[in-house]
Structure 1
Amino acid sequence: MTPIKPLCRAVAAACLLTGLAPLAGAGDDTFTIAVIPDTQNYLDYTHQTAEGFPFDANVMFIEQMQYIADNLESAGGEIAFVTSLGDVWQHQTLKMDEEHKARGFKAAPNPLFDGHFQPTEKTRTVEMPKAHEGFSLIAGKVPFSVVPGNHDYDAMWTDSKHPPAAEFDPTDWSSLGVLHPGGLDNFRAVFGAETAFFKDQPWYVASHDGGADSAQIFTAGGYRFLHIGLQFDAPDESLAWAAEIVKRYPGLPTIVSTHDYMNTEGERKANALIDGQRVDPIHNNPEMVWQKFISQHDQIFLVLCGHQHAQSKRVDDNVAGNPVWQLLSDYQDRHQTLVDVDYEFGQFPVGIGDGWMRFMEFDMSGDEPSVHVRTYSTHYDVQSSDLPEYADWYREKEKPKESVQEYRDGDDFVITLDGFRARFDAARVGG
């Protein structure tokens, strides 16, 4: 998939003039999955001109969604499936949800975070409506999934059993206090199983907890694929439900999307600032999700996550001895767009995202299928591999220990899906 402007797609001659190749219609052997990492900084109501911000950041989100819509298979492009990795919007509407209150949870004062996580009705009047507007651009046109990230919960507070320390310990980020989310009414209102986005869609095959966990099936590249979306730090009930879905659709190559799963070093570790399992043992941390669920089901071959700020990848064998590829994508801290307008940063950096997202281009034609993972900015209309300034803009903050080439390779690489044919031959369409 070669990203191009929508106008160029509409006018092939213009594409030739720009030197960009128009997107071909999806063939039998190729298709693309669009991966949308954390978008909360675009939708943040404080990042709009109405609040005195230098531009409307939510325009970048709409540009992303329009770009996806213009490149769907149904529009003559190659995108066969779309997955959002959570943290769709930024703010909460409650200090604590009723369920956690009933279970005895209490909040601790946190001078650093209390202002940032102050409940606001602008979540419902600004952020959630814009999220709905964006996903409406693809609704009814493509199978898609949205999982809840911690910001998408109704409430987020500093847990009283894990308050901030008197002094920050740079070796232990939880010394800033451990946050915990609760309540999913807001998420279900926009992305629940009973919303128009998913209700009665034939590809939306199952849900749990009102749509906080969900399953989709799509056909592409000559195979039927199963996708499972898991809520933040999925509890045992979610994992048990997901295991039943795998059993219901045996043998299908399966992709799992969840918000928090891997850090920027490629480790299955929660962010210490918001470790759901540490605060509430009904939750599973990333390693527990791997041990209890992902590694136990041989048809899961790919895991996608966001949440932790940058990108990383790893591959591990499951209990059957087959590889599982795991990818982190999260660009929310990038703010070159603010540098471009000479924004004056205060004590803390302001993240935007700069329009970056991922496209996973599957080529099923070889002896073993491959996936070209590309990173593309709809705002700058460029792939990371074609932007000379890419490492200069972002490497120092995200991956300072990597060389320029290593950093660039982390956002443009090819995965060979070793063993895919033998593993999933029964999932071939017509097979």
Structure 2
Amino acid sequence: MQLRSGRWFLMLSAILCLSHFSGCGSAEPEDSGGVTADAGAQTQTSLDVIVPNSSDPLGLPLNFIPQGDEFMVAVIPDTQIYAQSFPKTFERHIKWLADRAAEYNIVFVSHVGDIVQFGDRRNEWNNAVAAYDWLRDAKVPHGLAIGSHDFSKPSSYEGPVKPCGGATGPSCKAQMYIEHFGASLYKDEPWYGGSSPSGTSSYQLVQAGGLKLLFLHLMHDTPPAELTWASEVLDANPGALVHLTTHRYMFDYRMTAWLPPPLSGIKAGRFNPITYLLGGQSAGPTTAIELFNEFIAKHPNIFMVHCGHVDAEFRMVDANQAGLPVYQSLVDYQDMADSGGGWLRLLWFKPKQNRVEVVTISTETGQLRNNGDGFEHSIDIVQYYRKAYNSELEGLGLDLEMIDALIADIKNPGPSRDAYQASLYGAGDRDSRYSLQVNFQAYIDASK
């Protein structure tokens, strides 16, 4: 999703929230059925000791490079603006991974979707392929979820979309995605497991660090038929640790309890009926809440979920039906001034320690992203809401002068800025660098 292009129905949604829902936007209890994970399952570590890498200024610090049986998985946030306007940035982004895959033992690269901005523009798909050819040539296993922008529309800037031949439904609208990143391109790869009948979901299998990893990429707003296929895939692979990637699943509009109501009630989490409206969107065949309760929580070996769609860094943990924590993360930087800054997420697996270290790095600068580095951008997001939805805010009876004064306060040093920053980053759920304690064997055992 591109924030500046969406219609944010704030007034309607907030009124609905205040009239019909308590804890508007909250992840609990509807979101996970009142189920929460062991608080000790998600831990923080400093990861603050940096040993400079003088031989590779754009690379990881020397002490962040995997050793022994350790390995890395890369997560690529939305690249739609790269494909549209910055193809060289896109190429450098992927080439960075290909060039370092052997040294860092990068065993898989997963894309959260919105590969392109306009799903019917061939030049954007060509830009994406030019970038991903670096991974293909380097023989690095990878998968890409299909996002909302990756589908063709009924009409485009070039006129009506051409007929789809025998294809119907998702397969028709996803023709460009299937042509450039579909099963036919990967059928000879030993790590490629297969795709759903529609061609819009896929899975890949990798062995690393003594673990069998299954990477599942589900279609945007996954229809029931796709979930039926996915369940069959997981049932056929007991004992595999499953990393799920899909596109629209979580959100974060930078609204915290520190802000005045009703804004304070729009808490980050999984999309729900209210927050679909807040993004100017309608729920798809399967809502995020349903995806968790009816699919993710029922499969005990799904230990991690990544998504994009909304510009934000946010993470949450909920227990599945086996009582094991599911680590869920939203990673997307597309609305930054530089359309993403080359930021990507690296998951550093340490099997012997039952640990996953999470690191965010810019492939443009080699800079590690520190916790709280997104604060200024978060203020920009809030300021955007204020300017874009003046009439809606006024219709709610909010004191616009007070809102303007609040924004001015948080933009400048002082108590208000400190309080808002603490409300955003104090809990650690918007961190860019953190550590997870993961009992890998527990997921394996629970799925057998």
TM-score by length of 2: 0.67
- What is the 5 A alignment of 1:71-90? 71-72=100-101, 75-90=102-117
TM-aligned CA distance change 1:305 to 1:15, over 3 Å:
closer
Match of 2:442 among 398, 422, 427: 422
Match of 1:143 among 141, 144, 164: 141
TM-aligned CA distance change 1:182 to 1:312, over 3 Å:
farther
Q: Unmatched 5+ residue regions in structure 1?
A: 48-56, 94-122, 159-179, 338-351
Partner of 1:155: 153
2:348 maps to a residue whose letter is E
CA drift of 1:277 comes to: 3.4
Query: Per-residue CA shift, 1:19-50, capped at 9, x if unaligned?
Result: 9528756521x111100010001111xx3xxx
The answer on whether the counterparts of 2:171 and 2:200 sit within 8 Å (CA) in structure 1 is no
- What is the 5 A alignment of 1:299-338? 299-335=301-337, 337=338
Query: Aligned pair 1:411/2:396, yes or no?
Result: no
1:86 maps to a residue whose letter is G
Match of 1:21 among 62, 74, 88: 62
CA distance in 2, matches of 1:88, 1:298: 29
Match of 2:96 among 55, 58, 67: 67
2:153 maps to a residue whose letter is A
**Residue correspondences, number:** 329
The answer on whether the counterparts of 1:15 and 1:21 sit within 8 Å (CA) in structure 2 is no
1:310 maps to a residue whose letter is A
Partner of 2:131: 134
1:147 maps to a residue whose letter is A
CA distance in 1, matches of 2:271, 2:113: 17
The answer on whether the counterparts of 2:298 and 2:320 sit within 8 Å (CA) in structure 1 is yes
CA distance in 2, matches of 1:22, 1:192: 37
- What is the 5 A alignment of 1:161-310? 183-195=173-185, 198-264=186-252, 265-269=268-272, 271-272=276-277, 273=279, 275=281, 277=283, 283-310=285-312
TM-aligned CA distance change 1:133 to 1:65, over 3 Å:
same
1:248 maps to a residue whose letter is A
CA distance in 1, matches of 2:118, 2:317: 34
TM-score by length of 1: 0.69
State percent identity of aligned pairs: 30
> Alignment partner of 1:189: what SS?
helix
Q: Unmatched 5+ residue regions in structure 2?
A: 1-46, 157-169, 253-267, 383-409, 411-419
TM-aligned CA distance change 1:38 to 1:181, over 3 Å:
farther
Partner of 2:400: none
The answer on whether the counterparts of 1:260 and 1:305 sit within 8 Å (CA) in structure 2 is yes
> Alignment partner of 1:27: what SS?
coil
TM-aligned CA distance change 1:156 to 1:353, over 3 Å:
farther
Query: Aligned pair 1:363/2:347, yes or no?
Result: no
> Alignment partner of 2:81: what SS?
helix
CA distance in 2, matches of 1:427, 1:225: 13
Partner of 1:373: 358
CA drift of 1:138 comes to: 0.5
2:431 maps to a residue whose letter is G
TM-aligned CA distance change 1:230 to 1:20, over 3 Å:
closer
1:129 maps to a residue whose letter is N
CA distance in 1, matches of 2:65, 2:355: 18
CA drift of 1:289 comes to: 1.0
The answer on whether the counterparts of 2:71 and 2:209 sit within 8 Å (CA) in structure 1 is yes
Bigger helix share: 2
2:151 maps to a residue whose letter is Y
